[in-house]
Structure 1
Amino acid sequence: MSVLQSPSEARTVAARVVGATKLYGRGDSAVRALDDVSFEFPAGAFTAIMGPSGSGKSTLLHCLAGLDTLTSGQVCIGDTDVAKLSDGELTLLRRNRLGFIFQTYNLVPTLTAQENIVLPLRLGGRNADPEWLAQVVAAVGLADRLGHRPAELSGGQQQRVAAARALVTRPEIVFADEPTGALDSRSSGELLRFLRHAVDEYGQTIVMVTHDPVAASYADRVLFLRDGRVVSQMTEPTADRILDAMKGLGE
């Protein structure tokens, strides 16, 4: 089976933030969404980011993914300093090295499931590796739905198409922002098991923002934010331990 990273690579750092600060607005009305956050995200691991509403978790994810910019501090994807990239270079970084799964599926309604999955490759002028595409499609359990358009798929199936699209480019990191927020418990479980499988079998690196302790329990490590700061982290998380930690944060 193909893998995305070797065991030795899995011990490296896939992304990091150093002194990450993000302000919205100016003067007395400025909101400090991130307040001097420094953290490393290991390659080949599943990290969940949690915190109360307004804690800065989505802002951190968006700045890591190059979808937003820091007011001060540094974001690196591997050895690449994101702030030093031009707009064109940043577009290529997101297209070629990163994968994204959002709460909204962002599928093109006129394209089939397979066409949606390979769309990032087509936009980059590349063809899909047939063997890798087959592995990804099998992993998300959509082999019999590839010819269907989004309107013909359930919400869970659409989100699994989005997850397959995020993996088909063999990205260094997949960023997932509340990916189970619009799903029922069964569809949520299917998606989370797939993400866990991608980490365990393919060596994928995943960084996921979630408010759901059950979803976060699939991760290797949970990072807790409050008021824009990292306040704690947890390894070997369980839903009960996460829920207790979130109660302590005021959630």
Structure 2
Amino acid sequence: MSMVKSPSGVRTAARVVNATKLYGRADSAVRALDNVSVEFQGAAFTAIMGPSGSGKSTLLHCLAGLDTLTEGQVLIGDTDVSRLNDADLTLLRRNRLGFIFQSYNLVPTLTAEENIVLPLRLGGRKADPQWLAQVVTAVGLADRLHHTPAELSGGQQQRVAAARALISRPEIVFADEPTGALDSRSSADLLRFLRHAVDEYGQTIVMVTHDAVAAGYADRVLFLRDGRVVDEMTEPTADRILDAMKGLGE
């Protein structure tokens, strides 16, 4: 796992430097990110919040190599993502990153287990049976492995997606509104699993959410407004987050 250390000795899993993202051209251009520089600590859970249009999803997508910056740098460990070609970006995403989206993106003809190990198969690798068993147990899917997505509830499908994100032991898991389509119980199950992955496995998670309760599971919350990081909070609680969001006009 390739991480760099900051002067304080804390591992930096990812960072953006002077990140600017423009959509459109000339006078009609929208500045989705405005010269953002921020680091994401390894083995930690960071939530990104902000009003609609604040740039939070753009920041996540640029960090994850799913979108490109107009100016600035994105680094995963010591790899400058901004300099990678399409083929190398694909390898980075497959081998070093994990993803959980609001839509589960499961293959309907594959079983839960086949969906979980799919990233490894695409990379020509086999799953470590012990690690697979550990992840499956952690998400509570041991008795659902041979079911197809159509035979699973929404919460179970999202837990399959979460297990798939962790099966390759990625340096970072990027989660974009992962609880947005879930009921409160399924949402809590998923968030407890993500918290467990950080605490027990040393996983690094960066999550975009609009939900203060979800962000309360994180170690740190970044608040964006108008494409800039305007505040951050450590040891967050839902009440403190809601107060901060009120100040951002949400």
Partner of 2:143, secondary structure, is: coil
Hey, what does 1:102 align to over in structure 2? Answer: 101
- What is the distance in 2 between the residues matched to 1:11 and 1:159? 31
Hey, what's the Cα distance between the residues in 1 that align with 2:21 and 2:84? Answer: 18
Aligned to 1:91: 90
Unaligned runs of 5+ in 2: none
CA distance in 2: counterparts of 1:213 and 1:106, whole angstroms: 25
Distance of 2:173 and 2:82 partners within structure 1: 19
Post-superposition CA distance 1:65-102 (Å, at most 9, x none): 00000000000000000011111111000000000000
1:17 is the counterpart of 2:22: no
Gaps of 5+ in 1: none
Distance in 2 (CA, whole Å) between partners of 1:222 and 1:75 is 19
Return the TM-score normalized by structure 2: 0.97
The 3-state SS of whatever aligns with 2:241 is helix
Q: Which amino acid aligns with 2:129?
A: P
SS across alignment from 2:203: coil
Name the CA distance, whole Å, in 1 between partners of 2:20 and 2:87: 24
The answer to whether the 8 Å contact 1:20/1:34 transfers is: yes
Alpha-carbon distance in 1 for matches of 2:124, 2:234 = 40
Q: CA RMSD in A?
A: 1.5
Code of the aligned partner of 1:135: Q
Q: Which amino acid aligns with 1:220?
A: D
Cα offset, 1:11, TM superposition: 2.6
Partner of 1:66: 65
- Aligned pairs (5 A) from 1:98-247: 98-247=97-246
**Stretch deviating more after TM superposition (204-213 or 8-17):** 8-17
Which residue does 1:250 correspond to in 2? 249
> For 1:118, what is the secondary structure of its paired residue?
helix
Q: For residues 53 and 135 of structure 2, what CA distance do their matches in structure 1 show?
A: 35
Contact 1:11 1:44 in 2 (8 A): no
